[in-house]
Structure 1
Amino acid sequence: MPWKCEASATFERFWLNTASTADVSLRIADCDEQQVPALQSFFERVYRAGYALCDSTLLRWQFQRTPGSDGLRWHIKLAFDGSNIAACLGFVPLEITLDGAVVRGAWVVNWMVDPERQQLGLGPLLMREVTREFEVTLNIGPNRAARDVLSRMGWSDHGELPRYVAVLDQPSAAVLANAERLSWPSLSPAPARLQSSSPARVVRVERFDADATSLWDRITAAGSDTAGTRRSAEFLNWRYADHPGFRYRLFAQYQDARLTALAAYRVEVVQGMSIRVGRLVEYLDTADEGPETGSRMLAHLLDDARAEGVSVMDFFCGDRRYEEQLARNGFVADPAAIAALPLLFQPIDRSRSAISFMSHTRRRSAAIGGSPHWYVTKGDGDQDRPN
């Protein structure tokens, strides 16, 4: 039987009463093809001219041509005040792994309300419409105001995603830090690892195949406390190989013909500079199964990034099981050191320093209550997209 937090139910009744007593004509509807131009005008009016989703190709990729979609329905909820769009909420239906099982879930993105209509409670009404459709709903990157609202609606706040940074060129990193010299932690020598009788082989690929799905399912099998978007080949190829704007570099690691790791990153040129930054958005590895796996994925990625002229590479990931591998390969997790480097580069923006993550479930879950290893990266939601 679906479970709903009492705080969520109370909060929803409050917002429903607020909207019903207001002197307005409100309605909630799914976006259709005819409303897309008006929606894009809403984006420009509420956010800014030239907003990324005013690009129709990106908009369709994000909200219509998604894994498991028939390519016809738009996954966007709209709130109307009369005939005008007053708020919107996009969502991406996906398979979510939770408690070792695959459930129907979604990421919510682009939660926007017209500032002149915020008192009507349209944002929570739209969120309620989406969460009632899915077992699990996830949100990456909500700001403080959104986190407060969602917490009162029964969402779980998992805090901020750890950020890992590898500096490949100190002078360029110092420029990004706006400092004459970058003070960066010295790295400890990498611990000795057993040599595998069958060395790992890392190759660059154009697309992922069914082995990627098997890798994720193996990592999150029954008894595992890893939760997150199911990294099926269908999802990975939609998210990275078929992205309409970015060109990701995809890698697979094999050992005895078995896929043991995969990764994806892209190279970003800092606006107004010639400095290149690597954004690692996907890293799955079975190295924690034991040192005999002899994983080389991270070392290979950094070698590839150096060849591409990358000065700094970062990785946001909620699953801390990879901390040892990341540290062994030169990634630093010290918040004080990382704070010197901006999070956004189009243009450089030092006002934002973290990415938060929240979840909502319609059923009681041992994983949710027991703080699972949430494998959440910038590849989830809409955190890695054109600005």
Structure 2
Amino acid sequence: MSEQLKIRKARPSDISNLIEFFIQIYGEQTVFQVEAFLRYYFQSPWNKESILESNWIGLNSKDEIVSHYGGLHYKLILGENIIDTIWGVNAYTLPDWRGLGFNSTLVQKLFDANPINATLGMALDTHKFYKKLGYNVFDHQRLKRYLFLFRVEAFELVNEIGADIGKAKQLVGSPITVSHWNDPGHIVELNSQMLETHGLQLGRQVVCTTLRDEGFLKWRFLDHPFIAYKVFAFVGENGITAYLALRPELLQPSGRMVGRIVDMYGDARDLYGVISFAIQWGNNESLLYLDFSKIGELYDHVLMESGFSVLEEDDVALFPQVSAPVAKRPNHEYLALKSLEFDEPIMALGINDIYFTRMDSDRDRVAKINQIK
């Protein structure tokens, strides 16, 4: 096939064509066919009128979209700096148009345009490709998964997806009996109004992580138009010092419920109470388990002391990572960071310096129409 590459930034007027493209790659039930979802997903949390500003598309001679690389607008704390960051997502080239340079050109376009580029979730071979491009790949370490087991029926899920049930029982153990915990009055279920009233005093807990300010938390969790999150927070004398955001998730086809902790952040001492509150809530809701995935060592001791078991590397996939329907999916939670402007501090980061969770990139989003709240 002889085609001249046509690469440009996407525009809001491309949305209908992007919908057709996404249906081709994700199927008839994809949430990417919903225009309102695309406008939310590809907007900036700090400028709601900004749509598709970091999305690049490849077109054929008929001006049909045959390749795409999207970008999600976040901000990164890097030492004492707060820097605009783009998470690269939804990179795909239609099979008939591969081998023409679309992928590499789109990656380079995104790379050249942004102060910091980040990507999360890919096969190891792709991660090695990013290393060759000059990204910090953190020795190919992956997100760890922490699991708090409420009910033995959770092991039926392991069996359903064809995973090693013996290994799962060995690593996770028996269900934990949840004792009653008396909240001294500091824990609240957070909403936007309460956030404005109390304000955030989360502090800086690690060298490099996502900026969590009021505008971001409203956009990402509290006012999310498509996912109903539960956000629990510790309110101290000077404001909110710690929070945890979780997503109750229905597993298909069994109809069982689990709780995905998508993010937690703040003062470790106050997180103990927030986690205890979430555990009691999950037990009262008859969830099978709570789980939480992260990269970096921040809060390791808090989670283990709160009763969570840890799954690492390939063992992360012992319990279902996808829910509609449940399926066995390899642990591809590899992280890569790169910056032209801030290359030296980015490349100097080690695993102890970073903290990222399922909140980041697109690791926690709805996939199909029937998952929309």
TM (norm. structure 2) is 0.85
**1:68 Cα deviation from its structure 2 partner:** 2.2
Q: Which residue of 1 aligns with 2:47?
A: 69
Q: Which residue of 1 aligns with 2:39?
A: 60
Give the counterpart of 1:305 among 259, 282, 306.
Answer: 282
State how far apart, in whole Å, the 1-side matches of 2:60 and 2:271 are. 59
**1:262 Cα deviation from its structure 2 partner:** 0.6
Could you list the per-position Cα deviations for residues 305-356 of structure 1 after superposition, in whole angstroms to 9, with x for gaps in the alignment?
1122211111111131201110111111143865532222221111323411
Q: Is 1:345 aligned with 2:323?
A: yes
Q: Which residue of 2 aligns with 1:122?
A: 102
State how far apart, in whole Å, the 1-side matches of 2:7 and 2:281 are. 48
Percent identity between matched residues is 20
Give the counterpart of 1:86 among 66, 91, 102.
Answer: 66
Q: Larger Rg: 1 or 2?
A: 1
Q: Which residue of 1 aligns with 2:201?
A: 215
Q: How does 1:1-387 map to 2 (within 5 A)?
A: 23-64=2-43, 66-75=44-53, 76-82=55-61, 83-158=63-138, 159-170=141-152, 172-178=153-159, 179=165, 182-185=169-172, 201-207=186-192, 209=195, 214-216=200-202, 218-220=203-205, 225-287=206-268, 295-335=272-312, 339-362=317-340, 363-366=342-345, 368-371=347-350, 372-387=352-367
Could you list the per-position Cα deviations for residues 44-99 of structure 1 after superposition, in whole angstroms to 9, with x for gaps in the alignment?
223322222111121110113x2122514323211112212121111012221112
CA contact (8 A) 2:296 2:353 kept: yes
Let me know the Cα RMSD of the aligned residues: 2.6
State how far apart, in whole Å, the 1-side matches of 2:332 and 2:12 are. 35
Q: SS in structure 2 opposite 1:320? A: coil
**1:100 Cα deviation from its structure 2 partner:** 2.3
Q: SS in structure 2 opposite 1:333? A: strand
Specify every segment of 5 or more residues in structure 2 that has no aligned partner in the other structure, as ranges: 160-164, 177-182, 368-373
Q: Which residue of 2 aligns with 1:13?
A: none
Q: SS in structure 1 opposite 2:295? A: coil
**1:132 Cα deviation from its structure 2 partner:** 1.6
**1:25 Cα deviation from its structure 2 partner:** 2.2
State how far apart, in whole Å, the 1-side matches of 2:284 and 2:94 are. 46
State how far apart, in whole Å, the 2-side matches of 1:263 and 1:163 are. 16
Could you list the per-position Cα deviations for residues 244-283 of structure 1 after superposition, in whole angstroms to 9, with x for gaps in the alignment?
2210001110233432211100100110113111000111
Report the CA distance shift for 1:302/1:354 in structure 2 as closer, same or farther (over 3 A): farther
State how far apart, in whole Å, the 1-side matches of 2:113 and 2:196 are. 28
State how far apart, in whole Å, the 2-side matches of 1:252 and 1:356 are. 29
Give the counterpart letter for 1:26 in structure 2. Answer: L
Q: SS in structure 1 opposite 2:309? A: coil
Q: Which residue of 1 aligns with 2:371?
A: none
Q: Which moved more, 1:331-340 or 1:26-35?
A: 331-340
